[in-house]
Amino acid sequence: MFSAAILISIIAVLYYKKEVVSIQEHSTMEMQNKALMIEKELINAHMEGREYHYNASLEKRFQIGLFNEEKQTVYSSLRSKEVFFEKRVYKNDSYEYIVDTLQMPIFGVKYIVIEGTEGFEQKLKLTMLIFGVVVVSTVFVGFIGYFLSQLLLNPIKQRVQKLDDFIKDSSHELNTPISALMMSVSSLKNKKEVDSRVLNHIAVSVKQIAQIYNSLSFLAFFDRDEVVDEAFDLQDVIKESVKFFEEIAQVKGNRFELHLEPTLVFMDKSRIQKVFNNLFSNAIKYSYPNTPIKLELKNRIFSIEDEGVGIKKEDQKSIFNRFERKSKEQGGFGIGLDIVKSICKMYDIKFWVHSQLQKGSTFYLQFS
């Protein structure tokens, strides 16, 4: 029984750590959705030309704080008076927080802060549950075999967990552009004249959905798609991708700087374009606002440089693995760089990355 207690206790600790991560992610996602809902309500009120008043009586699960550009309170039911606006996600001993920063102030609101406690309450319940299970389980030595079998199934559990996370991330990634499309279409219906800003929102949202679809379809049909190799100038493909992503980049104030020279290659044009599309999408996603994205094609080496969050040195190899994401705050599926790696290996294209945290990253492709 003593041996069983030790074994079960070890398993309980590992299970607790895994469940804590799952609880935290679930709680964070719910808080992010709440922030997005408030942001959507602000945008709807602004586009419809009506005043916005937050109805605190409808919310019992979260506490809400709305702040202006000077970080002064517009509305707040937060229990903590200290807010760290420079952080996206943080927590203290009792509460956890999400800080959503609007690109432009709406009704004087620049920051939306969500305060939640569900994660802490669920962790306490989880601790009590695990403690009870451990105490009872030590009496039944036969449970040792059951828990050992669970360990043997751990690789399958991890795979299922990755697929579960992938489905959650897919829903979250599609939610933003689809919500923007719905609001834009609703706005068009209520206006006699077409607003260029609304059309721009629609164009950006459609392109975001198209990029997500292209990545998912490539992942699903990579082995079935027909490969049509042909000769073409690589700089033409790069310019096409730049044209596609320009509107998306402009939303954050990013701009492309091109330094390209003619480079003939022989490969499947659509596949190499997927490589550039995923690199451009990542560069925009992880760049700081109002910074350039530099593209260079010289001596058959292509590079894309951004000024953004950067990548830790120890993570610079693993980021090319499927479903690998080092920053969950920025969204994504963790499949873009896996697609880049798969196509580069198919055509013997060397690829590598140089990066520094808080300074940016540069991805390189060397064509043979």
What's the domain range around 326? 229-366
Among the three residues 120, 152, 184, which one is the final residue of a domain in this structure?
Answer: 152
Residue 266's DSSP bridge partners are 231
- Domain-located, residue 100: yes
- pLDDT tens track for 63-75: 888 999 888 988 8
Q: Which of 19-23, 192-196, 274-278 has the lowest mean pLDDT?
A: 192-196
- Domain-located, residue 352: yes
- Domain-located, residue 174: no
Q: How many CB atoms lie within 10 A of CB 191?
A: 10
Q: Measured between alpha carbons, how far apart are the two ends of the chain, in Å?
A: 64
The CA-based angle 357-301-311, given to 5 degrees, is 15
- Domain-located, residue 184: no
Q: Please report the pLDDT score of residue 174 as a whole number.
A: 60
- What the block records as the tokens of 265 is 């290659």
Among the three residues 104, 129, 152, which one is the final residue of a domain in this structure?
Answer: 152
Residue 305 pLDDT greater than 90, yes or no: yes
Distance (Å, rounded) from C-alpha 104 to C-alpha 110?
7
- Domain-located, residue 190: no
- pLDDT tens track for 98-109: 899 998 888 888
Please tell me whether residues 112 and 248 are part of one structural domain.
no
- For 124, phi and psi rounded to 5 degrees? -65, -45
- Counted domains in the chain: 2
Q: Where are the beta strands (DSSP E) in the chain?
A: 62-67, 73-76, 89-91, 96-106, 109-116, 229-233, 255-260, 264-268, 292-298, 301-306, 350-356, 360-366
DSSP per-residue string spanning 55-116: -GGG-SSEEEEEE-TT--EEEE--S-S---TT-SEEE-SS-EEEEEEEEEEETTEEEEEEEE
CATH number of the domain enclosing 351: 3.30.565.10
Please tell me whether residues 355 and 263 are part of one structural domain.
yes
- pLDDT tens track for 96-136: 888 999 988 888 889 999 988 767 777 778 888 888 887 77
